[in-house]
Amino acid sequence: MLQSKKEMMSFLGFASYYRQHLKDFAIHARSLYRICGQKTVFEMTQERIQAYEKIRYALTNAPLLMMPDWELPFKLCIDACGEGLGAALHQVQIVTEKPYQGPVCFISRQIKPT
Over 70: is that where the pLDDT of 114 sits?
no
**pLDDT for 82:** 80
CATH code at position 38: 3.30.70
Which of 18-22, 42-46, 64-68 is predicted least confidently? 18-22
Name the residue type at position 25: F
**pLDDT for 96:** 85
Q: What average pLDDT score do residues 62-76 get?
A: 91
DSSP 60-92: HHPPPPPPP-TTS-EEEEEEE-SSEEEEEEEEE
Instruction: Look up the pTM and report it.
Output: 0.71
Domain boundaries, position 83: 5-110
Q: How many structural domains are present in the chain?
A: 1
Of the candidates 47, 48, 62, 66, which has an alpha carbon nearest to the alpha carbon of residue 15? 62
Over residues 28-49, the pLDDT tens digits come to 999 999 888 888 889 999 999 9
